[in-house]
Amino acid sequence: MVEMTIVSTLLFALVLGFVDFGFAFFQWNAATKAVQVGARLASISDPIAPQISTAGPTATPGAPVAAGSFAYVCNGATSTCTCTGAYCVAGVWSAANFNRIYYGDDGVCGPVAGSRPGMCDFYSFLQPANVVVTYTATGLGYQTRAGGPVPTITVSLQNVPFHFFFLQGLMGFADITMPSMLSTVTGEDLKSTSP
């Protein structure tokens, strides 16, 4: 009976450890998908920093905006956009445009039939403070688009913890911060009405 108690305790901890690490792997995959979806939505939605539409003027319509003309970093933790580069305009944060990326079309976390999902629909533990969206002029332009820059958009996550249930409760295992992850895409039409 003593041997069974010792063995079952170890076996119990091992099985629950596998369950928790399996859940951590699920969280990693869900967060990765959320970043990919966020980058896609950011590329077809109005920018979080609306002043991007006038950043980096060009002499010829559709010509590339010089690389390094601007780099807007919009941080969900501070609800601000900061900018570096020659064509920076004071950063303005558009909460509505950020929410479209974070929540999707329905404005809530959780799937809603017939609406485009946002980042939190794919990873429910995600908080707005974990999201950073960067718009960078990298020397791209569209021949068929008369005006406006074509930024490279990077969506990344910061300070997202893995959540443990069994190991944390039974063994005092603390949450571990996920390594940073990001997804980078080229801006398309930057409109909220795009498909």
Per-residue model confidence (pLDDT) at position 58 = 65
In this predicted structure, what is the pLDDT of residue 155?
97
- pLDDT tens, N- to C-terminus, the chain (195 residues): 888 888 888 888 888 888 888 988 999 999 999 999 999 999 988 899 988 877 766 666 667 777 888 899 999 999 999 998 888 877 689 999 999 999 999 889 988 888 899 999 999 999 999 999 999 988 876 655 555 668 899 999 999 998 887 777 666 677 788 888 999 998 876 654 444
pLDDT at residue 82 in the model: 92
**42 close to 184: Cβ distance less than 8 angstroms:** no
Supply the pLDDT for residue 193. 46
Strand segments, DSSP code E, in the chain are: 71-75, 80-84, 131-136, 152-157, 161-162, 176-177, 181-186
What is the residue extent of each domain of the chain?
Answer: 2-186
pLDDT at 139: 80
Cβ neighbours of residue 116 under 8 Å, at least 6 residues apart? 41, 104, 105
Query: At residue 14, what are phi and psi to the nearest 5 degrees?
Result: -65, -45
CA 134-176-104 angle, to 5 degrees, is 40
| Helix/strand/coil for 146 | coil
129, 45 contact by CB (below 8 A): no
